[in-house]
Amino acid sequence: MTEKVRRHYDEVAEIYDLRYDKGVGRSYHAHISEQVMARLPQGGRLLDIGCGTGLFAERYRQRGGRAVGLDLSPGMIGRARNRFGNADWVVGSGETLPFREARFDAVSSLLAFSYFHDPDRMLAESIRVLRPGGKIALCTLGRNFLTAGLPALHSLGELARVRQVGMGSFGEHYYSGAQMADLFQHAGFIDVKVSRCSFAHLNLARPVYELARKVEPLVESRLPYLAFNLVASGRRPHDRR
Ligand SMILES: C[S@@+](CC[C@H](N)C(=O)[O-])C[C@H]1O[C@@H](n2cnc3c(N)ncnc32)[C@H](O)[C@@H]1O
């Protein structure tokens, strides 16, 4: 399955930014990036796992930080290198990080966590490479009535040979907020916080998207079960054994 994910992102690497770095896609990505950014220390050394074309790493860098991006797909990493060459871009798996212990102040991961077959291992690796007191924040599709139908939709997309970013049956996992909190705590993180975000979906037509964006803050604060992404964060304790 990992090979299938890699192949898929290699194939869509050239069109990825058209979806997430233009029009409503850019606005959507900016929104989730802010949610993740708000939970991380600024100006530190960041590892972005499943960095794709480097969209979040670039934002972190614009705020004065340094960033290393790691991704399974050489095609996506190639695009990230084109975005800005003067950063470390690494082809590799988020479940086996090729970095020494306590190297980073922050770890992020956007729209990639659902692909990890061994989320415990990804989180264990993340806490290992974080310095004591370092923070992790990620954003991923949560488990709800929308994502329940996605595997079937993905299979249909494959049958119809639709070339869509993220479309395919890759054995993704969608977690509830409680499951995500358990995963973080089990890995040893403290100050664990999980909330829901995103009501405006990038597939919506522009006017509908704009409307959904307007009510998004209300949905996120008052009707969170209608929001489809999870934002989860935690901190490596100082006395971790
Ligand atoms: C939807 S894209 C998100 C990219 C980027 N984080 C963003 O926000 O634009 C998912 C990315 O996760 C990467 N990915 C999936 N499984 C991975 C794994 N096990 N290790 C590292 N990267 C992975 C894919 O190659 C792809 O680039």
Angle 3-67-39 from CA coordinates, rounded to 5°: 95
Q: Residue 165's pLDDT is what?
A: 62
Q: What are phi and psi of 30, to 5 degrees?
A: -60, -40
Ligand 1 binding site (Cβ under 6 Å of any ligand atom): 2, 5, 9, 20, 50-52, 55-56, 71-73, 76, 93-95, 110-112, 115-116, 166
Q: Minimum mean pLDDT among 4-13, 45-54, 145-154, 227-236: which range?
A: 145-154
The full set of domain ranges for the chain reads 2-235
- pLDDT tens digits for 61-98? 999 999 999 999 999 999 999 988 766 899 999 999 99
Q: How far is CA 29 from CA 22, 41, 59, 215, 231, in A?
A: 10, 20, 11, 17, 13
Please tell me the distance from the alpha carbon of residue 175 to that of residue 123, in angstroms, as a whole number. Answer: 14
Q: Which residue has the higher pLDDT, 87 or 170?
A: 170
Is CATH 3.40.50.150 the right assignment for the domain spanning 2-235? yes
- pLDDT tens digits for 219-229? 899 998 888 99
Contact 75, 50 (CB under 8 A): no
Please tell me the distance from the alpha carbon of residue 16 to that of residue 164, in angstroms, as a whole number. Answer: 9
Name the residue of 34, 90, 115, 118 whose CB sits within 8 Å of the most ligand 1 atoms, as the mutation to test its pocket: 115
